[in-house]
Amino acid sequence: MLFLLGSILGAHTPARPRMLSPIPPAQQIVVPLEPCNDDCLKKLYADGQIFSFMARYTPSQDAQLQDDYTIISDLLNPTLAIAAKPDNEAQPTQSTTQKVALLVPKEVVGKYSNTAINAILAYLALKEQNFIFRVFDSKKEDPQSLKQTYQEIVKEHFPFVIALLTQNGVQNLISQTPLSLPTIVPSAHKDQLEKLVNLPSTLIFGGIDFAQQVAMLVDLSQHKPLVLYNDDSFRGAMLGKSVQDLGAPILYQDTITFKKASAFSHELRSQIKYFKEGVVVLNTPIVKTGLLLSQIGLLARAKRPQMLLSSQINFNLALFMLTQERDRQHFYLTSAIGKINPYLEQYASILGVNLAYDWVGYTSVNSLEHMLVSTYHIAERYFSEPLQDKQIIYTNTIYTPEGLGFVPLSLPTRPPNSPVLLEEQGNNE
């Protein structure tokens, strides 16, 4: 009964006119509890937290932060970036499709294949040009596998080949396969092979000169007695042989397996005697190097080597995660990686390749650019290293770890037989 009465009363209640509320609509405001200054923004950028960096960015006087913000903004808004270009700036033509073939024996080169693939993709995407990029996996480096894969590339009418091969792979390739296409190898240097085999005229090399890096290190050591720790791989054996070929005074050398690296402190007991007057050369990859350095670093300062030297293989930011500051004292490395276009570096970073420290990625895109210049006559270039006598020429620089990065050394000219005075160039120079 009460329900019925209520319904009848409701039915005869006059409708009220709708009026606009004087209360403004609700707004959502995100208030950062902690302000993000320039150091905070740089840390977000360095840690790869790109979206947090963009969300918390405020106009800054720091030129590097401004560049980083602009680059990421262009990456996230490519249409706006193109529209913002001046009218007189030539836009990339879409009439020609660039074809790129990458030959990789994935079972041999392993993770390096992904590095090369992603670095090349970053370069091609940045150019905003139509392209066809295909990866041809030969799986192995035996002559027959390489020949079959190379012939597939020829049948697909690619104009050139980028071949990510070891020295043995190059020898196997040219032993049975006529190289009918221009073929560039970003993972090997010409000097490694020209004394061993007759090289085809179509074969080009884009690899780093590790032998020259070793020679720089031996000169830096002032030809003091050397203690060599070589990796149990082709690269480690090659670096050790380069030291021997220079006629450097080798006091002791050993081949380092993972088992030896893990228990290196036991080996040290019998090898400390070589350290006092000697210089240690580490021809081991980054993980093994970290294990060796961390155990050598536990020695009393008087028992440690006078210097620790290494080539490009340890020019890697992982060094700072694997070692402590004391382990890196008097450590010097060589690197051939030059200045990198910031847009290309950012594109590659998004794909997981740090071109500033990854020599395979760096040489792969450098080799690609040389082939695009000769094949498609591209005008805009990102690399300055010249191609001379079928080899890309790199400039090697000696660095030392400082803080969480590498600082180049200034080596002043000196009279013969005088001591080397090492001067570190700070970031403000």
Q: Do 98-208+338-389 and 211-335+397-412+420-424 fold alike per CATH? A: yes
Q: What pLDDT sits at residue 23?
A: 65
Geometric angle at alpha carbon 264, from 261 and 265, rounded to 5°: 155
Pick the CATH number of 211-335+397-412+420-424 from 3.30.390.50, 1.10.10.10, 3.40.50.2300, 3.40.109.10: 3.40.50.2300
Amino acid identity, position 162: I
DSSP, res 123: H
How far apart CA 122 and CA 362 sit, in angstroms, is: 11
Q: Where are the domains of the chain?
A: 38-75, 98-208+338-389, 211-335+397-412+420-424
Structure tokens at 97: 């499709």
Q: CB of 264 within 8 A of CB of 295?
A: yes
According to the model, what pLDDT value does residue 20 have?
Answer: 56
Its pTM stands at 0.76
Backbone angles phi, psi at 119, to 5 degrees: -65, -40
Query: Which tokens in the block code for residue 2?
Result: 């009460």
CA distance 170 to 168: 5
- Beta-bridge partner residues of 250: 226
Structure tokens at 67: 């560049």
Residue 13: what pLDDT?
A: 46
Query: Helix, strand, coil: what percent of the chain each, to 5?
Result: 45, 15, 40
Provide φ and ψ at 169, rounded to 5°.
-65, -40
> Could you list the pLDDT tens digit for every one of the 429 residues in the chain?
443 433 333 444 455 555 555 666 665 554 455 678 888 888 777 766 776 777 677 777 787 777 777 777 766 655 444 444 444 444 444 568 999 999 999 999 999 999 999 999 999 999 888 999 999 999 999 999 999 999 999 999 999 999 999 999 999 999 999 999 999 999 999 998 988 889 999 999 999 999 999 999 999 999 899 999 999 998 899 999 999 999 999 999 999 999 999 989 888 888 888 888 889 999 999 999 999 999 999 888 888 999 999 999 999 999 999 999 999 999 999 999 999 999 999 999 999 999 999 999 999 999 999 999 999 999 889 999 999 999 999 999 999 999 889 999 876 544 444 444 454 444 433
Q: What are phi and psi of 380, to 5 degrees?
A: -80, 120
Give me the pLDDT at residue 7, please: 38
- According to CATH, what is the number of the domain 98-208+338-389? 3.40.50.2300
User: CA-to-CA distance for 268 and 240, rounded, in angstroms?
Assistant: 20
Nearest-angstrom CA–CA distance, 10 and 354 = 73
Residues paired with 335 in a beta bridge: 397
Instruction: Report residue 46 as tokens.
Output: 């360095």
In eight-state DSSP terms, residue 417 is T
- Asked whether the CA dihedral 379, 380, 384, 389 is positive or negative, the reply is negative
Dig out the tokens for 263 from the structure.
Answer: 């228990």
Residue that the structure tokens 């220079």 belong to: 246
Rounded CA separation 217/140 (Å):
34
E strands within 199-348? 203-205, 226-231, 250-256, 279-283, 307-310, 331-335
Spatial contact of 331 and 319, defined as CB atoms under 8 Å apart: no
